[in-house]
Structure 1
Amino acid sequence: MTAGKQEGRVLVVEPTAACRGILLRARELDLETIVVSYDAGDRLLPGDVRDLADELMILDANDEGLLTAAVLALHEERPLTGIIAGFEFYVEIVARLAGRLGLPGLPVTAAGGLRDKALMRAKAAAAGLRVPRLTTVSSAAELGDAAAAVGFPLVLKPRDSAGSVHVSRADDLAGLRRAYDWMLADPRTDLGRGMDGRAIVEEYLDGPELTVEGYVESGTGDAASGTRDAAAGTVVIASVTGKFLGPEPTFVETGHIAQADLPRATRDAIESYVRDLCAALDLTLGPFHCELRLVDGEPVLIEIGARLPGGHIVDLVEIVTGVSLPAVMLAAYTGLDLGTVAPPRAPRAKYAGIALLIAPGVETAGAVSGWEKWQAGGDILEAELYVAPGDPVPPLEDFRSRLGHVIYTSDSHAEAVARFHEITASVHIRQGDDDA
């Protein structure tokens, strides 16, 4: 091997677009990659992700028995170096497989708390961390008691979903019942999974929403560097990212800015909260994506996942910090040297943002106005539309409602915020039958 090249065989289960960097870095290091995917319907692989895989194994990864048999056969044929969950739905099965094969992975006992939002909150509360007031439901008959226990306004969300799917604010019991009935009736799936009726009903948190991107690596912490020992590793905070949301009652993410502009004391409180949260949930390995809200300046958990963030946040983080979270994930779940697999690089800009385009009220995409101004060049790094005239437009409910994006850089936070508003105010996706 030449310097920096590695030997090994890495399997990635149902990689989403954020995992492109994992496969790209693996290719640069001469690591062999195998992607396991259903590769159809809402699990159709992004083209660039498919192209970067050395081998594609098509099977239903939602069938744990089928996936387990396939992975065991691959490992027996030639040992795997690591196995990575391409999305949080596969965190538990990957933890079990890694434990069975003796590969780097999350503790099997921790994986449930990183997937079940009710269990996640219970573990955080037991560690003394502030979480929303909540209760759980599994049928419509329980909604009245749940609302009485929590109080309005409140939020309904599935216990183990992602991407803001069927997360909805309700201001009265009728609204709560409508949201729950729609959750059960929705025929769409997310990576082949539908809703099973299990949900949490929790207090509405009134405050700005942020995400925290970071990772856990083995080693000892250093107070001067802003790290702290967790259960079996050191928590490193890469970015606290500001978030823009669409109109409620849903919570569609419409943009992000890395890094958020926060007072030092607030930033310190957020970082301390997230480190303590990682310890409480026994999140001991690899990248995480934590969502929280500031309520009266105090961080309160929305959720944390042992996965890469979506919405191109990994790109924003790398632009402003030089940290490649996909490369960090590759190193963590193979046990390869972090400095070799994910060497630190110089930041490219002080701030980076993304405007995620939505079209409230539009059912079929038509003409797009204002788009020509935002083509890549200068401080505009990337611009892409996901729809063409005649394409159906999903209702404004979750990540599926986003119809395009523009990634840009800025020298100041105020400039980044202004650019976001300029983009979203100027680009309009019209109704398909609207000739105006």
Structure 2
Amino acid sequence: MARLALVVPAHSYRGNDFLAAATPHQLTIVTDAEEPLGGDHIVRSSLSLDASETDRLAQVLVERSVEAVIGVDEYSVQLAADVSDRMGLSHGRGEAIRRATHKDQLRSTLDRAELPQPSWHVADSVAAIDVDWLERALGPGPWVLKPLDRTASEGVVRVDASTLAWGRDQLAAVVGSHAPVLAETFVPGAEIAVEAILTDGALEIVTVFDKPDIGDGPTFWEATYLAPSSIPLSVIEEVRVLIERAARALDLHTTPIHAELRLPEGRPVIIELAPRTIGGRCARAIRLDDGRHLEDLVIERALNQPRTIPAARRGGPIGIWMLPTPHDGTFEGLDGVEVAAAIPGVERIEMTTTAGTTVYAPPRTRSYLGFVFVSGRSRRRVLSTLDQVRSVLRPRVAPAS
């Protein structure tokens, strides 16, 4: 029985699924949560990246003969990698993760590798961004502005000369007016999300999701995921090769990969690439034909026990709707749940926000009110079911005072 450690932040979307997949192993959980999470041993931690905390955790896990350390989400992969390096289980993994998760370092690395991505420039602060600077740095708009250190679509806005003041206000609300910002050219075209597993530098795609309603801004709330993707297999192979080259440039070796790409004129351009699994509850829609889950693949490879990823996926087309927050305020509840749950094709509705929680509308949030999972015989049927669900589910949010 292998000895495994999971780094699980309190309130992580991904914690429970990784904990379930880790059940066959002797499990140590590193967490800042106060409530019990299971496992054979709990190590309380602030989960800070402070060197003294990293050293302490490494010593504790060495004493427990832990063979692999896994961060379950975007908030824990860096600490897990740093601890793994300190334990001698890996070498340089922490720096590779750091390159991939800091947007400016990611862009610099992809530039050196001459891989397709948006043109970009870092502004010293939100307040320093004006139209003249953007046009000098990137050429004519529209442009996309992003915080350097946030995930998902938090703080991400598309602006032009007429909406720049609004965009600066949105960014300042997320990171403050003095924080540096990544400015990019806007890349049009369809957008996809790719879930893949990198094993000793070789990339295997697990699932490709279409994002049929991502749109062109001004915010980029990821409302709907649909699989399997409708893009041609030849383009999917081009995407696979591109992500594998990007991972090599970042010096990533064995890790899950979540990547987002746009397809202007059908050619892939890297928008985001992260050494982690997909966020939220979306991984629950990934169905391998042999019954395994995405978390199983991650754990197997971390323990150097990789098994073949089956080409087939269980079931037909699937769709996920991530419930958006209509406006800032206090979440009071969700109307229409019973009606939506009775719609043919709706598998389940999972709420992740409780009544009384303060919520924010895009782009000031990276959280979702909940998730709706839908299946059907065809993509058209899945999209039709999602439309029906959207017509009956109504979140109640009391406006902020």
TM-score scaled by length of structure 1: 0.80
CA distance in 1, matches of 2:364, 2:230: 26
- Correspondence 1:171 to 2:139: no
Change (3 A) 1:157 1:72: same
Q: Partner of 1:14 in structure 2?
A: 9
**3-state DSSP class of the match of 2:243?**
helix
Query: Which amino acid in structure 1 is aligned with residue 318 of structure 2?
Result: A
3-state secondary structure, aligned to 1:318: coil
- The answer on whether the counterparts of 1:250 and 1:398 sit within 8 Å (CA) in structure 2 is no
Matches within 5 A, 1:180-259: 180-186=168-174, 197-218=179-200, 233-243=201-211, 244-245=213-214, 248-259=217-228
- What residue in structure 2 maps to residue 158 of structure 1? 147
Residue 129 of structure 1 and its aligned partner are, at CA, apart by 1.5
The aligned residue for residue 380 of structure 1 is 346
Question: For residues 64 and 374 of structure 1, what CA distance do their matches in structure 2 show?
Answer: 46
Change (3 A) 1:84 1:331: same
8 Å CA contact 2:127, 2:177 repeated in 1: no
Is the partner of 1:163 in helix, strand or coil? coil
Q: Secondary structure at the match of 1:308?
A: coil
TM-score (normalizing by structure 2): 0.87
1:147 partnered with 2:143:
no
Measure how far apart 1:344 and its partner are: 5.3
1:332 and 2:321 aligned: no
Match of 1:285 in 2: 254
8 Å CA contact retained: 2:287, 2:315: no
Structure 2 contact 7–31 (Cα < 8 Å) conserved: yes
Q: Which moved more, 1:419-428 or 1:55-64?
A: 55-64
How do 1:401-416 residues align onto structure 2 when only pairs under 5 Å count? 402-416=368-382
Q: CA deviation at 1:254?
A: 0.9
Q: Could you say which residue in structure 1 is the equivalent of 2:44?
A: 58
Structure 1 distance, partners of 2:364, 2:288, is 26
Gaps of 5+ in 1: 1-5, 41-46, 188-193, 219-232
RMSD over aligned CA atoms reads 3.0
> Aligned to 2:259, what secondary structure does the other structure show?
strand
Q: 2:224 matched to 1:267?
A: no
1:420 corresponds to: 386
Relative to structure 1, is the Cα distance of residues 240 and 106 closer, same or farther in structure 2, using a 3 angstrom cutoff? Answer: farther
Q: Is the 8 A contact 1:395 1:401 kept in 2?
A: no
Distance of aligned partners of 1:338 and 1:325 in 2 relative to their CA distance in 1, 3 Å threshold:
same
Hey, what's the Cα distance between the residues in 2 that align with 1:255 and 1:78? Answer: 42
Are the equivalent residues in 2 in contact too, given 1:320–1:350 (CA < 8 A)? no
Q: How many residues align?
A: 394
| SS of match in other structure, 2:21 | helix
CA drift of 1:312 comes to 2.4
In the TM superposition, what is the alpha-carbon distance from 1:176 to its structure 2 partner?
Answer: 3.1
Per-residue deviation at 1:297? 1.1
63 and 10 in structure 1: CA distance in 2 versus 1, 3 angstrom threshold: closer
- CA pair 377-58 structure 1, distance change in 2 beyond 3 A: farther
AA matched with 2:316: K
Moved more, 95-104 or 194-203: 194-203
1:85 aligns with 2:51: no
Inter-CA distance 314–371: structure 2 relative to 1 (3 Å threshold): same
Equivalent AA in structure 1 for residue 380 of structure 2: A
Name the counterpart of 1:70.
Answer: 56
Shift of 1:323: 5.0
1:205-253 deviations in Å (ceiling 9; x for gaps): 11121111011113xxxxxxxxxxxxxx321111111123378321111
**1:255-281 superposed Cα distances (whole Å, 9 cap, x missing partner):** 211221112332232222222222222
Question: If each structure's helix is expressed as a fraction of its own residues, which one has the higher value?
Answer: 1
